[in-house]
């Protein structure tokens, strides 16, 4: 409870759903509202007198006041003490217009946000609107299997809350519901948001059964309300997975955009737009206090970039039933995402960078080897059916190679025992790490008569209650060779032609990801960026709908260059590394008056080693 990881109460099987669902305009709100609240309102906390009173009044206006919201608030988990982690469900919806007017409002995507003051980490877990799940009985509807976005349409906030809690087993302390109407106003109040558009987006065919219009060119640029909405809504030629990723990228851009906001007049307009379209429910029947909002705001505002974790359910399967595209997830895929969400590793970026550059990662809060290199046999020593299975499953979720070894020699062990082979140099340290996960386990050398075929043997005792102590999940990736090949020369020719139109030295990619080619939509773009020259190269690959790129500009203090996760020096260059968890998303550097960065695909399909190799391969034009 209150931030501790928990197993889902009952297993769910992967399911599918029939028929198409209505398209909505609001998935992005669930992803950006959190940053709108915390980064804007922390600015209000730093202003004086009347602004604070206005802020306090505005918070009061967001309280749960409708009957529907009050009903949902009654089933929230109690809010934990201020020094413990709390979880909020953010739900975006839109009121139907035109022919749909009078029908229930729709939601696209729900989002869980976890803020942990102790580890100074914030994690977000996204649920695509097309994910099919079990929705509990509500109103006049029986229990059924359908798309997750229908939980709100059919059952309101309470139904969405119950659905997410049943699916994940995560206690939820707050909910935030957002009406779509305020989005465009908020973005325009900000003066637009600078966002990295990964490729050419164009569609002018609309109408019944069609998609919304969009006309965006690739490259880092400022988007006002309408184009910003087009970008985060788009899913015409890809899927909901990519739309989720676009929304997450937009969320990060919003944080960068508002971090320096301090003008009271601008804050007034933005807060008005938020409070007119937001309701907040608080667990335990409490009220949302301004001091509480500011405490979370301060955490988010000062958050190191490496401590912001965007979590997705990986490996979702796509299906097409009745002409509609749906997504399915297995129990293990959901469990894996929940584990990462509840136990984010604050040092994920640092460890991933060490592996990618050929170094040895320093374990976080550990004295032994990385969990991925430790094998564990788990035995049942307490007589509880399934105890060894549970222990092996939980250790596997923490990154260990664990297996169920069956029953121990007896079933009356009180404390859990962790045995190691004294001949293994890492055995003692690995055993100490595992013992911490079980809380009060004893560590000892394996008896001489017992031969260990694994690094460790764990006998779970009566003190094991089916869960491990909270702790970061080891997300360190395995080192792999960079998947690159020499560029064909086409990029060099295009860059040489672009050089005539810009007033700073361009660089040529000498390496590219081995399964990628320059995009056929718009392979290179030369344009103005906030009054500065800019050039963008767009590559398509490695999986068809993935696009990555190389951005070049003489705007050396552009927002995306601020706040890197890490800085590393190599070959005379100082590289700024920006990570999404353990995935390297951007590699940037400055040179001869220009700023250059390599941007990974929306789903971070390029490996960390590949990203670094491409960045190192950027060379001056040969005269």
Q: State yes or no: pLDDT of 295 exceeds 80.
A: no
Closest CA to 172 of 268, 241, 78: 78
Q: State yes or no: pLDDT of 273 exceeds 60.
A: yes
> How far is the C-alpha of 513 from the C-alpha of 87, rounded, in Å?
39
Q: Write down the pLDDT at residue 225.
A: 84
Kindly give the pairing relationship between strand 573-580 and strand 507-509: unpaired
- Candidate from 478-487, 541-550, 609-618 with smallest mean pLDDT: 541-550
Interacting residues of 391 by C-beta distance below 8 A, sequence separation 6+? 378, 402, 458, 460, 464
Q: Using pLDDT thresholds of 50, 70 and 90, give the confidence band for residue 21.
A: very low
Are the C-beta atoms of 234 and 215 separated by less than 8 Å?
no
Q: What would the mean pLDDT of 459-485 be, rounded to a whole number? A: 86
Higher local confidence (pLDDT), 473 or 591:
591
Interacting residues of 503 by C-beta distance below 8 A, sequence separation 6+? 533, 554
Q: State yes or no: pLDDT of 331 exceeds 80.
A: yes
Q: What would the mean pLDDT of 316-345 be, rounded to a whole number? A: 83
Q: State yes or no: pLDDT of 351 exceeds 70.
A: yes
Q: Write down the pLDDT at residue 181.
A: 65
Q: What would the mean pLDDT of 373-402 be, rounded to a whole number? A: 93
**Positions of E strands within 329-431:** 375-380, 401-407, 417-420
Q: State yes or no: pLDDT of 395 exceeds 90.
A: yes
Kindly give the pairing relationship between strand 417-420 and strand 375-380: unpaired
Which backbone phi and psi does 52 adopt, to 5 degrees? -65, -45
Q: Which residues of 219-255 are buried (b: 16+ CB within 10 A; e: fewer)?
A: bbbbbebebbbbbbbbbeebbbbbbbbbbbbbbbbbb
Q: What would the mean pLDDT of 81-86 be, rounded to a whole number? A: 80
SS3 358: coil
Q: What value does the mean pLDDT of the chain take?
A: 80
Q: Write down the pLDDT at residue 254.
A: 73
Q: Considering the chain, what percentage of its residues have pLDDT values greater than 90?
A: 35
> How far is the C-alpha of 288 from the C-alpha of 290, rounded, in Å?
7
Q: Write down the pLDDT at residue 362.
A: 62
29-342 maps to CATH 3.40.630.190: yes
Q: Considering the chain, what percentage of its residues have pLDDT values greater than 70?
A: 77
> How far is the C-alpha of 474 from the C-alpha of 392, rounded, in Å?
16
Q: Which of 334-343, 391-400, 547-556 has maximum average pLDDT?
A: 547-556
CA angle, 570 as apex, 568 and 574 as ends, to 5°?
55
Q: Using pLDDT thresholds of 50, 70 and 90, give the confidence band for residue 49.
A: very low
Q: State yes or no: pLDDT of 75 exceeds 60.
A: yes
Q: What is the pLDDT of residues 202-213, one digit of tens each?
A: 988 765 556 678
- Candidate from 90-99, 331-340, 352-361, 589-598 with smallest mean pLDDT: 90-99
> How far is the C-alpha of 55 from the C-alpha of 53, rounded, in Å?
5
Domain residue limits, the chain: 29-342, 371-460, 484-620
Q: What would the mean pLDDT of 587-616 be, rounded to a whole number? A: 96
146 beta partners: 133
Q: State yes or no: pLDDT of 536 exceeds 90.
A: yes
Q: What would the mean pLDDT of 488-512 be, rounded to a whole number? A: 95
Q: Using pLDDT thresholds of 50, 70 and 90, give the confidence band for residue 297.
A: low
Q: State yes or no: pLDDT of 385 exceeds 80.
A: yes
Q: Using pLDDT thresholds of 50, 70 and 90, give the confidence band for residue 59.
A: low
Q: Write down the pLDDT at residue 407.
A: 95
Q: Using pLDDT thresholds of 50, 70 and 90, give the confidence band for residue 31.
A: very low
Burial class of residue 121 (count of CB atoms within 10 Å of its CB; 0-12, 13-18, 19+):
buried
CATH code of 484-620, in short, is 3.30.200.100
Q: What is the CA radius of gyration of the chain?
A: 25
Q: What is the pLDDT of residues 124-170, one digit of tens each?
A: 888 888 888 999 998 888 888 888 888 888 888 999 999 999 999 99
Are the C-beta atoms of 515 and 499 separated by less than 8 Å?
no
Tokens at 249, concatenated: 């990228």
Q: Which residues of 72-107 are buried (b: 16+ CB within 10 A; e: fewer)?
A: bbeebbebbeeebbbbbbbbbbbebeeeeeeeebbb
Q: State yes or no: pLDDT of 52 exceeds 70.
A: no
The domain made up of 371-460 has a fold known as: Alpha-Beta Plaits (3.30.70)
Are the C-beta atoms of 538 and 518 separated by less than 8 Å?
yes
Q: Where are the alpha helices (DSSP H) in 561-620?
A: 608-616
């Amino acid at each position: 409870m209150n931030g501790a990881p928990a197993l889902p109460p009952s297993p769910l099987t992967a399911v599918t759903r029939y028929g198409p669902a209505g398209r909505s305009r609001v998935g992005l709100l669930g992803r950006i509202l959190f940053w709108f609240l915390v980064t804007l309102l922390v600015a209000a906390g730093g202003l004086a007198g009347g602004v604070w009173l206005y802020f306090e009044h505005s918070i009061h206006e967001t309280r749960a006041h409708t009957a529907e919201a009050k009903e949902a608030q009654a089933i929230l988990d109690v809010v934990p003490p201020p020094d413990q982690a709390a979880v909020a469900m953010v739900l975006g919806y839109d009121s139907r217009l035109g022919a749909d007017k009078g029908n229930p409002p729709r939601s696209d995507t729900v989002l869980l946000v976890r803020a942990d003051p102790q580890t100074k980490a914030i994690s977000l877990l996204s649920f695509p609107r097309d994910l099919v799940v079990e929705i509990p009985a509500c109103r006049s509807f029986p229990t059924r299997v359908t798309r997750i976005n229908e939980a709100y349409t059919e059952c309101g906030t309470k139904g969405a809350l119950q659905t997410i809690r049943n699916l994940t087993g995560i206690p939820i302390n707050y909910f935030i519901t957002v009406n779509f109407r305020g989005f465009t106003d908020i973005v325009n109040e900000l003066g637009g948001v600078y966002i990295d558009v990964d490729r050419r987006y164009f569609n002018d065919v609309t109408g019944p059964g069609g998609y919304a219009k969009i006309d965006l060119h690739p490259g880092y640029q400022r988007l006002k309300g309408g184009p910003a909405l087009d970008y985060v809504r788009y899913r015409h030629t890809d899927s909901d997975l990519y739309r989720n990723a676009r929304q997450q990228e937009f969320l990060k851009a919003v944080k960068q955009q508002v971090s320096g906001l301090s003008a009271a007049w601008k804050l007034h307009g933005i807060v008005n737009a938020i409070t007119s379209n937001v309701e907040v429910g608080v667990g335990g029947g409490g009220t949302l206090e301004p001091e509480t909002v500011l405490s979370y705001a301060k955490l988010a505002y000062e958050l190191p970039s490496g401590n912001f974790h965007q979590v997705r359910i990986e490996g979702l399967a796509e299906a097409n039933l009745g002409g509609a595209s749906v997504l399915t997830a297995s129990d293990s895929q959901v469990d894996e995402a929940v584990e990462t969400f509840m136990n984010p590793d604050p040092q994920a970026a640092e460890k991933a960078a060490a592996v990618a550059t050929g170094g040895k990662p320093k374990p976080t809060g550990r004295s032994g080897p990385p969990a991925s290199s430790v094998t564990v046999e788990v035995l049942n020593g307490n007589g509880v059916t399934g105890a060894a299975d549970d222990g092996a499953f939980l250790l596997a979720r923490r990154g260990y190679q664990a297996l169920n070894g069956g029953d121990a020699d007896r079933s009356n062990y009180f404390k859990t025992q962790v045995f190691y082979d004294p001949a293994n140099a890492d055995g003692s340290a690995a055993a100490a790490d595992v013992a911490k996960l079980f809380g009060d386990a004893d560590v000892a050398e394996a008896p001489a008569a017992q031969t260990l075929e694994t690094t460790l043997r764990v006998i779970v005792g009566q003190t094991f209650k089916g869960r491990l102590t909270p702790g970061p999940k080891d997300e360190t990736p395995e080192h792999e060779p960079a998947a690159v090949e020499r560029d064909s020369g086409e990029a060099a020719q295009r860059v040489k032609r672009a050089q005539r139109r810009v007033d700073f030295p361009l660089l040529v990619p000498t390496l590219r990801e081995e399964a990628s080619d320059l995009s056929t939509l718009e392979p290179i773009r030369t344009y103005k960026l906030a009054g500065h020259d800019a050039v963008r190269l767009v590559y398509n690959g490695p999986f068809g709908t993935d696009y990555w790129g190389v951005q070049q500009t003489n705007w050396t203090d552009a927002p995306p260059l601020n706040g890197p996760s890490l800085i590393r020096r190599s070959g005379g260059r100082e590289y700024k590394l920006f990570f999404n968890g353990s995935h390297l998303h951007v590699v940037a550097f400055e040179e001869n008056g220009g700023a250059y960065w390599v941007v990974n695909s929306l789903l971070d399909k390029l490996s960390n080693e590949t990203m670094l190799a491409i960045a190192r391969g950027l060379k001056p034009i040969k005269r």
